[in-house]
Structure formats: C-alpha cells, structure tokens
Amino acid sequence: MGKTLIAFYSRRGENYVNGSIRTLKLGNTEVVAAKIKALLPEADVFQIDTTYEYSKSYMTCIEEAKQELRDQARPEMKNQLASIDQYDTIILGYPNWWGTMPMVCYTFLEAYDFTGKRIIPFCTNEGSGMGSSERFIKKLCPTATVLPGTPIHGAEAAVADRQAQAIATMV
C-alpha cells in the first residue's frame, strides 16, 4: 500500500440539514474526513479551501455556488500542496453543490497530475447523492483510476462510521 492523501472541501456554519438551516461547528464533509483519517492514521490530510470567503448565510452561499457553476469558475485555492507525487491514492471529499462538486474541487483536480493515481471520491449531500461529480472527476483526471464514489447523507455524517470504513478499505 502506497501513501494516501485525504483531500476535502467542507462548509462550516449555516448548512441545510434534514430540511432546515442549522449552524454546524464542523462541516459534514470534514466530519467524515476525520473519521477516515482515524481509520488511516498514516494518511495525510489536506483541506481544500478558497481565498474567497463565501457568505455566512447559507441561502446566499448557494447562490454564489450556483453562479460559480454557471461561470465554470475556478476559485483560487487558499493553500496548495507542493506536489502529489508521493501519493498513490487520493480520497477526495466534498459536498454536493448543484449536482456536482464545489468549483474549488475542480481547481484542485486541475492543479496536479493524477496520472496513475487512484481517486476515491465521497460526497456529503441531503438527498442528491454523488450527482454528476464522478463523471467530472473522470473527465478532469482521465489518466487516473476513479473508484465508485460513496454518497453520505450529510445529516448522518456524525454516525457515518460504516461508510468511512468502506472508504478506508478501498485504500
């Protein structure tokens, strides 16, 4: 087994959870990423984030995300890894925003060469599953092996031990 990277984007603060807006101390994707890290202690973790700060209001944030999708924007990442050469497997986590990944995940995938890498996606959502994100990962990383994604109901992130275990065993 080679080296593994857990890369994820997650939104803290106001989120849509089981039909209502709630304030989350940690975003759902971050909660699941921590569960996977606990199962894979040798894995490195990288939090994907933007230089742009989305609105604290969930309703405004989703409109910002919709506009980024329309524009096919590539938001600038706050931090970057020097390289991903040392990693054989990248576990990529993100929330489902408008049927796909947040656009900064596109920025992340376009920033590195994933040739020969395995990408294991997981997506927190409130009912829309993986959306079209797996198709876009395959399109953005045609020389990588993209394993089937794991959709995780965001409201159940805190108890998603079974899903985290399933992801960890794919490594």
Q: Over the stretch 109-165, which tens digit does the pLDDT of each residue have?
A: 999 999 999 999 999 999 999 999 999 999 999 999 999 999 999 999 999 999 999
Whether the CB-CB separation of 129 and 153 falls below 8 Å is answered with no
Residue 2: the pLDDT is 82
Mean pLDDT of the chain: 96
Residue 73: the pLDDT is 98
Q: Is the pTM of this model over 0.85?
A: yes
Residue 98 pLDDT > 90, yes or no? yes
Task: Give me the domains of the chain, ranges plus CATH numbers.
Answer: 3-170 (3.40.50.360)
List CB contacts of 137: < 8 A, sequence separation 6 or more.
92, 101, 109, 119, 121, 146
Among residues of the chain, what percentage have pLDDT more than 70? 99
Q: Which of 119, 89, 98 is nearest to 16 (CA)?
A: 98
CB atoms within 10 A of CB 147: 17
Residue 16: the pLDDT is 87
- Give pairs for 14-21: CB < 8 Å, separation 24+: 14/56, 14/57, 14/58, 14/61, 15/58, 15/154, 16/58, 16/126, 16/154, 17/126, 17/154, 17/155, 18/126, 18/155, 21/58, 21/59
Q: Which of 97, 90, 86, 85 is nearest to 145 (CA)?
A: 90
Give the residue ranges of DSSP H helices in the chain: 28-39, 58-71, 103-111, 133-140, 161-170
Among residues of the chain, what percentage have pLDDT more than 90? 96
Residue 7: the pLDDT is 98
